[in-house]
Amino acid sequence: MREDLEGFIEPGSEEEQLVNQLDFSRLPQHVAIIMDGNGRWAKERKLPRMEGHRAGSESVREAVEICARLGIKYLTLYAFSKENWKRPRKEIATLWRLLEDYLRKEDKVLVKNRFRLKVIGQIGAVPSLVQKELERVEELTKDNRRMTIILALNYGGRTEIVDGVKKILKEKDFDIESLDEKKFSQYLYTAHLPDPDLLIRTSGELRISNFLLYQIAYSEIWITPAYWPDFRKKHMLQALVDYQKRERRFGDIYPH
């Protein structure tokens, strides 16, 4: 994958030093990101909160590109939580409009680069025009296999677990004795997706904010003080270098 970074990583840069520390055979398969700090980024610059969200969209592009160039197969982005509905109506409306515009402008980029889009969450509550765009782009990219980008929208980890239980209860003649952790995971929004190996949170907050509660049981967590609009390939590479320094034992006494 090193050749895919040519022209993207500047020779002699801090990023190149970080790349040289990576073992490309031990990169995570799935990276999940809690994208936090847009509002504070804007406030520190005496800008409207929405300017922080707009600036954050560039960080999304860079995170997608660096992951794709490194060969990471799954990238999950926490884009809108169920709790985000508590924000001012104008801000919420603008967030959905930004997503709708992004989907219309970036669909060709997704197709060209063989990226698949998948959405998780209670999508029925998302504005109808945005729903249509999400469904269109999901269908358009469903056969792409280079990388899967998972958007968590109107998402809550506890709600996901409750929804999984509801699915089971609706099944006739379900054999409750056959239910184990692996089988239950197939009733979650993330069915058929691997659990995240690495969870990144920006803005320095030390919490997981109801995100992928079931799936991150053994994920490595990396936190950066950088606000999401300032997140760049340097930060992703720092997270990956730190990830590779850890021993993942999954409850065992020996690393896996």
Q: Which domains does the chain have, with CATH numbers?
A: 27-156+195-244 (3.40.1180.10)
* Cα distance between residue 224 and residue 226, in whole Å: 5
Q: What is the pTM of this model?
A: 0.95
Are 233 and 15 within 8 A, CB to CB?
yes
Q: Which of 84, 113, 144, 210 does the annotation list as catalytic? A: 84
pLDDT tens, 11-70?
A: 999 999 999 999 999 999 999 999 999 999 999 999 999 999 999 999 999 999 999 999
pLDDT at 113 over 90: yes
- Residue 91 carries which side chain, given as an amino acid letter? E
Q: Which of 4, 20, 36, 252 does the annotation list as catalytic? A: 36
Mean pLDDT of 67-84: 97
pLDDT at 201 over 90: yes
The helix (run of H) or strand (run of E) holding residue 191 is: none
pLDDT tens, 157-173?
A: 999 999 999 999 999 99
Give φ, ψ of 204 to 5 degrees. Answer: 80, 0
pLDDT at 67: 98
pLDDT at 256 over 80: no
Are 80 and 152 within 8 A, CB to CB?
yes
- Which residue, 78, 76, 77, 95, is CA-closest to 86? 95
Mean pLDDT of 200-229: 98
pLDDT at 95 over 80: yes
84 is catalytic: yes
pLDDT at 126 over 90: yes
pLDDT at 1: 58
Strands 198-201 and 115-120, bridge-based pairing: unpaired
* Cα distance between residue 74 and residue 83, in whole Å: 25
Residue that is written with structure tokens 């709708």 in the block? 100
